[in-house]
Structure 1
């Protein structure tokens, strides 16, 4: 089984490096300065266990990387980049190519299924960072992450089991799950806080950011219930993750705050809020219920990314005041 990992940032970079080191045939797809840095000197992987440089092959596009019979394509880009990525992929990959969405949010699988017949969702519990070209960080050790997998929209098959086995060989915890989207919707609720942290920063001396976070998540739970979407309960999710992810400090560790903070730090000009908080806004509009907190946070995060402001530029107290108005 060979893996074409499309998007060599935090998640794709660490995952690709570990699969390569575990003996799998891996081809990364990257872009820009990151692509140039990895080509020039390999992929530097930093973690609490130390630093290694992995000579994993890297390419600039699916056409350059090639997608052959027997390959599995793993999507690891941010959701806002998925439509363009799929268009580039369909030009070179057979429609029966397995496509595995190792991505946050719940929209990527549906997008992929329009073009490819074998699509898999992965519930991503994987603390990682990418803020410098050529460098990725795995924040959890000795287990880098949890990557449970299932076929979309439901079920499991031999390919899914094989991918789970490969993830496990690379050091991850991974189980095949027939109901993977129930788990991904629980992760979506968790990810509603990504934009809050990006806007307000990781420090919360007066507890205002925690209040905003509670508002957007409670609103998200209410909207999912109104939409009739079955979601894994919080207790079951906590039990699944208990004791697996450990994140000791290490020298050079990137700032806390998650992937949306990293988008602002890198000045990419885009952020994933439209596919996280925006998913709740979409469902709310479809089912005639309000979602003002997620709508406001989503809009402010998109503006922050577009204007390339630093993380923490919006005082949490001001944001809370606007939500209470």
Structure 2
């Protein structure tokens, strides 16, 4: 399946859930594909390979061994593409590492940035000129070092700031589309914020420990998520942003319509959907890995700040954000009961 004429050198910088899945899906098509990992993840990938499985089908997991795992970007001379899949809070360090080690002998690589939120749009242009931003429309998670699950294949939507660099965007599309669904948008800013709206749930499932502990009340969980997202939609609209449909993610109309339904009906639909939700990467970082860093500020914090800017009273988002800030910084953080969370943000 590998194209013998495919000479592109592609480095995926970051072997978390997204970087690992993209690597596995592109692997059959490129002979010069490298996955950059560090620490225990590097050791596991080199000794045991990379294991990928689809949700509810772990018995059919595929393990890729003998793959090109690197520890340092300098190990690959003149890469054509660098797919950066680290979180925003690690992005400055990664940019400086790439910039200091990639020689100028060849042409500058095309950067494909796969971060949530919009912080990368401010940071990356300080280091690179050829940047394509990718909005990831599927869920993936890491069970352990070198073991990653995903819900289903869904698009990565590519765009550029002010639709610049159409040639680089086209090349990025051609690279990614061989292995996974890929789309192009001319509405990057709207699309990025449409994804951020959905990402508001990451902190919710983290704070209440969904996927890690039993949830005491589906009704309370539905109220938290519905109110955060409904408020988020109103904030975005007041700021002049519009919806861009992304994969199978819920539409704004679905969210607002759900708010009008009787609770018992909404709970039936919500219970079915929540069963499909998986542990978020934020939950892995904070609950399992015990990290102090998260995407809380770049996601939930953004909506609170935008609400203040446009003069909107974001009661639920503001209280929820403040609660997460308080809890997530605790070194011994344990998920809260969902009914307690609802009480705190609704009082």
TM-score interval w.r.t. the shorter chain? 0.7 to 0.9
Shift of 1:162: 2.3
Contact kept? 1:267, 1:305, Cα under 8 Å: no
TM-score after normalising by structure 2? 0.78
Which consecutive unaligned segments of at least 5 residues does structure 1 have?
Answer: 240-253
Report the equivalent of 2:259.
none
Aligned length: 304
Secondary structure (helix, strand or coil) at the match of 1:261 reads: helix
Give SS of 1:91's match: helix
Structure 2 residue aligned with 1:275: 298
SS, match of residue 135 in structure 2: strand
Cα distance in structure 1, aligned partners of 2:90 and 2:306: 21
Give yes or no for the alignment of 1:167 onto 2:176: yes
Query: Judging changes above 3 Å, is the alpha-carbon distance between structure 1 residues 31 and 268 closer, same or farther for their aligned structure 2 residues?
Result: farther
Give 2:337's match in structure 1, choosing from 315, 318, 325.
315
Indicate the residue corresponding to 1:157 in structure 2: 166
Q: 1:89 to 1:289 in 2, by over 3 A?
A: farther
Determine which structure has the larger helix proportion and give its number: 2
Q: What secondary structure does 1:122 align onto?
A: strand
Partner in structure 2 of residue 57 of structure 1: 68
Conserved 8 A contact 1:121-1:181:
no
- Determine the structure 2 residue equivalent to 1:295: 318
Residue in structure 2 matching 1:9, options 9, 13, 16: 16
Structure 1 contact 216–293 (Cα < 8 Å) conserved: yes
CA contact (8 A) 2:49 2:63 kept: no
1:138 aligns with 2:146: no
TM-score (normalizing by structure 1): 0.83
Cα deviation for residue 90 of structure 1 reads 1.9
- For the 8 Å contact 1:121–1:151, the answer to whether it is kept is yes
Cα offset for 1:200?
1.4
CA–CA distance in structure 1, aligned partners of residues 247 and 133 of structure 2: 21
1:33 paired to 2:44 = no
Q: In structure 1, what is the Cα distance between the partners aligned to 2:203 and 2:45? A: 29
Residue 249 of structure 1 corresponds to which residue in structure 2? none
| Structure 1 residue 61, shift from structure 2 partner | 3.5
1:151-230 correspondence to structure 2 within 5 Å = 151-155=160-164, 157-170=166-179, 172-202=180-210, 203=215, 205-230=217-242
Q: Does 1:128 align with 2:151?
A: no
Are the equivalent residues in 1 in contact too, given 2:135–2:195 (CA < 8 A)? yes
What is the RMSD computed on CA atoms of the aligned residues? 2.8
Deviates further, 8-17 or 40-49: 40-49
Task: Tell which structure's C-alpha radius of gyration is larger.
Answer: 2
Between the aligned partners of 1:4 and 1:270, the Cα distance in structure 2 is 25
Partner of 1:92: 101
- Structure 1 counterpart SS, 2:157: strand
CA shift at 1:282, angstroms? 2.7
Q: CA deviation at 1:204?
A: 5.9
Q: Secondary structure at the match of 2:101?
A: coil
Q: Structure 1 residue 166: deviation in Å?
A: 2.3
